């Protein structure tokens, strides 16, 4: 299942970015996925859930933006969105083999992180009153 290894490198990049940003937790991960990326969405979501366990990304939401295939035709110079992938031809003039300019994307677009807990000093502050000696 190659989605598992894709999920693994996706999680690795996101953890890396989160650590650099000083995040305590990642809440959302936004991914751009082209229709011809060759990735099965459900399998990727499943792999994501497994590989995020025990990382900063555990419990975060994977938001996938699906990108349609856009082609550019050399014959009539029209850019069009392909509705289906059964026929790979220019929808405007029918010429075969238009150039694909979008559709193979597999990109980590952005991550949303939670850094609030750091600002409040974490557990040490919350526990201080209980540490006072009682007479």
Place of tokens 């598992």: 4
What one-character DSSP code corresponds to residue 89? Answer: B
Q: How far is the CB of 80 from Zn ion (least distance, A)?
A: 8
Q: How far is the CB of 88 from Zn ion (least distance, A)?
A: 12
Q: CB-wise, 1 or 93, nearer to Zn ion?
A: 93
Q: CB-wise, 45 or 72, nearer to Zn ion?
A: 72
Compute the distance between CA of residue 82 and CA of residue 90 in angstroms, rounded to an integer: 8
List of residues contacting Zn ion (CB under 5 A): 73, 75-76, 90, 92-93, 95
Bridge partner list, 64: 31
H-only helix segments in the chain = 2-20, 41-51, 116-119, 123-127
Q: How far is the CB of 92 from Zn ion (least distance, A)?
A: 4
Q: CB-wise, 75 or 118, nearer to Zn ion?
A: 75
């Amino acid at each position: 299942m190659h989605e598992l290894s894709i999920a693994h490198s996706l999680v690795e990049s996101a953890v890396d970015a989160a650590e650099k940003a000083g995040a305590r937790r990642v809440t959302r991960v936004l991914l751009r996925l082209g229709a011809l990326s060759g990735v099965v969405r459900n399998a990727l979501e499943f792999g994501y859930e497994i590989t995020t366990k025990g990382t900063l990304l555990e419990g975060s939401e994977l938001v996938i933006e699906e990108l349609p295939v856009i082609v550019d035709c050399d014959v009539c110079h029209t850019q069009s969105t392909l509705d289906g992938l059964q026929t790979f031809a220019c929808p405007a003039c029918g010429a075969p083999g238009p150039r694909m300019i979008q559709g193979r994307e597999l990109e980590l677009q952005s991550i949303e992180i939670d850094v609030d807990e750091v600002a409040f000093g974490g557990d040490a502050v919350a526990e201080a009153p209980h540490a006072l000696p009682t007479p």
